[in-house]
């Protein structure tokens, strides 16, 4: 009989503010998808799987921020405050209502005010990830140096994600800020395209900067890899560390552009570009999930040289290269032998949910 104890870390008790951790639930599922990767040797398929999971996680940040932009920018600032009947039923919107005719009544300035809500959401995500990083990812393991002679869960870098988690936090914060910038910039492009002039040129320049920063975010994400054999304490390059600050600076320029007075600009219908933005994100997520499933199948069907298929569930030759007589009788001993193997040789190629 083996006794086990579990620490919930005050997950089921404490202040009501702990419910904010539910905001990170979609990202926890993406993290689980990474650890459910089919067992395989390091190669192009494994690197592609890791990259696809991180792209899906980044798309979740974009989608979550986009939902906040839809509620604040489109429904609240653009449609409700721009309609006299809706603004009349919400007295707290009176100072920004189009019918009021005040300084904040212009569509662009209403968007500037509403952008504070998705910006606050990005700040909350940054704070939660900062707390997680400080509490769990900065604890140094007992093993030092580069070790490849240990079981996987005892390697120095397995539990030590200081650099990787910090890098991914910077990437996700930058992605969220760029999403807010794009949501505010799309209506400006639509309004200034017909009018022309200097503001249309400024809009295009800002769009070019946004695309350049988005390319930098994707490049930084593609260069993110786990180091399990050693503690990875290397500092990130300056361009990676500067990504969120550059995105924040671009957002400030976009808000300044939106606050500029535009004669004759009125809000009508839905926020320009909002539907296209959501459709694009959803289609990209569907494509990424399909590519992830295909990559997992490629890894699942892989088999080391000389291995034999012992059951429908996994590839499990024993130490002598023979198939076990019964999979259920040999599943646990084989898993223990693999976990204790110093060289981590892939004698057993299991599915995403079992190691025989």
| pLDDT tens, position by position, 101-126 | 777 878 888 899 999 999 999 999 89
Distance CA 310, CA 322 (A): 9
Least confident residue range of 34-38, 137-141, 199-203, 242-246: 137-141
CB 355 within 8 A of CB 316: no
**pLDDT of 314 over the 60 cut:** no
The average pLDDT across 248-260 equals: 94
Distance CA 106, CA 129 (A): 36
Interaxial angle between packed helices 243-258 and 198-222, expressed in degrees from 0 to 180 and rounded to the nearest 10: 160
- Tokens encoding 225: 């890899």
The chain-wide mean pLDDT, for the chain, equals 77
Q: Which residue has the higher pLDDT, 78 or 160?
A: 78
Quote the pLDDT of residue 205: 96
CB 148 within 8 A of CB 229: yes
For residue range 3-57, what is the model confidence (pLDDT) as tens digits? 666 665 565 666 666 677 777 788 888 888 887 877 766 678 888 888 999 999 9
Confidence label for 350 from pLDDT (cuts 50, 70 and 90): very low
Distance CA 190, CA 200 (A): 9
Least Cα distance to 249 among 175, 313, 320, 178 occurs for: 178
The average pLDDT across 185-209 equals: 89
Confidence label for 316 from pLDDT (cuts 50, 70 and 90): very low
- The sign of the torsion formed by the CA atoms of 313, 315, 319, 322 equals positive
For residue range 64-87, what is the model confidence (pLDDT) as tens digits? 999 999 999 988 888 888 777 787
Confidence label for 349 from pLDDT (cuts 50, 70 and 90): very low
Distance CA 60, CA 175 (A): 10
The average pLDDT across 332-337 equals: 44
Quote the pLDDT of residue 212: 96
The average pLDDT across 202-227 equals: 91
């Amino acid at each position: 009989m083996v006794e086990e104890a579990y620490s919930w870390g005050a997950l089921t008790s404490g202040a009501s503010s702990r419910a904010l951790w539910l905001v990170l639930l979609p990202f926890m599922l993406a993290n689980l998808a990474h650890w459910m990767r089919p067992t395989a040797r390091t190669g192009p398929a494994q690197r592609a799987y890791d990259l696809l999971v991180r792209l899906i996680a980044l798309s979740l940040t974009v989608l979550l921020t986009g939902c906040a932009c839809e509620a604040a920018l489109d429904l609240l600032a653009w449609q409700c405050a721009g309609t006299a009947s809706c603004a009349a039923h919400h007295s707290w919107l009176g100072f920004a209502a189009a019918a009021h005719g005040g300084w904040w009544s212009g569509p662009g300035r209403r968007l500037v005010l509403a952008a504070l809500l998705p910006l606050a959401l990005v700040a909350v995500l940054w704070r939660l990830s900062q707390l997680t990083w400080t509490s769990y990812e900065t604890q140094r393991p007992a093993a030092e140096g580069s070790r490849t002679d240990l079981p996987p869960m005892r390697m120095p870098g397995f539990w030590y994600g200081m650099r990787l988690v910090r890098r991914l936090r910077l990437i996700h914060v930058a992605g969220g800020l760029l999403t807010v910038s794009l949501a505010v910039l799309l209506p400006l492009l639509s309004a200034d395209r017909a009018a022309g002039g200097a503001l249309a040129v400024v809009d295009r320049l800002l769009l070019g900067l946004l695309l350049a920063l988005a390319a930098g975010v994707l490049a930084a994400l593609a260069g993110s890899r786990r180091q399990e054999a050693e503690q990875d304490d290397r500092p990130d390059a300056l361009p990676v560390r500067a990504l969120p600050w550059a995105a924040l600076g671009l957002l400030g320029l976009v808000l300044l552009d939106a606050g500029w007075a535009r004669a004759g600009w009125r809000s009508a219908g839905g926020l320009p570009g909002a539907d296209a933005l959501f459709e694009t994100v959803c289609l990209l997520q569907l494509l990424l999930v399909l590519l992830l499933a295909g990559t997992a199948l490629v890894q699942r069907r892989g088999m080391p040289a000389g291995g034999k298929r012992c059951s429908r569930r996994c590839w499990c030759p024993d130490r002598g290269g023979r198939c076990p007589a019964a999979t259920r009788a040999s599943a646990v001993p084989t898993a223990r032998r693999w976990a204790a193997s110093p060289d981590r040789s892939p004698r057993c190629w299991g599915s995403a949910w079992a190691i025989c």
